[in-house]
Amino acid sequence: MPRPLPARAEELFDELRAPARLYAHCLLVHDTAAALLDRLLAEHRDLPVDSDAVLFGAAVHDIGKTVHPEELTGPGRRHEAAGRRLLLDRGVPEELARFCATHGDWEAEDRTLEDLLVTLADKVWKGARVGDLETLVARRIGGAADLAAWEVFASLDDHLTALADDADRRLAYQNSHPLTPRPGGMP
């Protein structure tokens, strides 16, 4: 069973009557981000990363799909700006609401390590590997930890491979949930 979402994220999903499948998706991305952080922080104890921000961002990154539910089953990026606005309107600070917009645009110059980790979790939970993103994350961690990027990448690659290997189970879990609002509480 995936780890529970941060309390504020739970409240937001309940308040917005989020579809059960969206909730399940965000639960899985959050759990993947938590596993990624566990490994990174075990290897790089002094890594300057805001773990709470990453976990909250992973939990709510697609919350804009409550406004654009058609993007639950089809392509689209309107949920990114809509999610950011939804969170800001509910008193979530910009430094946390931003993940709704940044997870889909990770190549922008101003992306933080936190932004990149949310995006990475959103990719690897389903088994997707994005070489350029992974290399960028390894470079950022290497720079912060005073290590060569290739050293960081070797370990990161092993962990991402293990996470990706479990993607079929996570996809089945997500897809077992309906597109209708969840009745409240965990699915």
The pLDDT, as a whole number, for residue 17 is 94
Q: Which structural domain range is residue 84 located in?
A: 7-175
Q: What is the CATH number of the domain that holds 111?
A: 1.10.3210
The pLDDT, as a whole number, for residue 121 is 98
Q: First CA to last CA across the chain, in angstroms?
A: 11
Query: Six-digit token pair at 152?
Result: 């960081």
Residue 181 lies in a domain: no
DSSP 6: P
Query: Six-digit token pair at 139?
Result: 């470079």
Residue 117 lies in a domain: yes
Query: Do residues 114 and 50 lie in contact, with contact meaning Cβ atoms separated by under 8 Å?
Result: yes
Q: Is 51 left (phi over 0), alpha (psi -120 to 50) or beta?
A: alpha
d(CA 67, CA 21): 14
Residue 171 lies in a domain: yes
Residue 182 lies in a domain: no
Residue 1 lies in a domain: no
Residue 120 lies in a domain: yes
The pLDDT, as a whole number, for residue 18 is 95
Residue 151 lies in a domain: yes
Domains: count for the chain: 1
Beta-carbon contacts of 99 under 8 Å, excluding residues fewer than 6 positions away, are: 53, 56, 57, 58, 60, 61, 114, 115, 118
pTM: 0.95
Digit-by-digit pLDDT tens for the chain (187 residues) are 899 999 999 999 999 999 999 999 999 999 999 999 999 999 999 999 999 999 999 999 999 999 999 999 999 999 999 999 999 999 999 999 999 999 999 999 999 999 999 999 999 999 999 999 999 999 999 999 889 999 999 999 999 999 999 999 999 999 999 998 877 654 4
d(CA 72, CA 54): 22
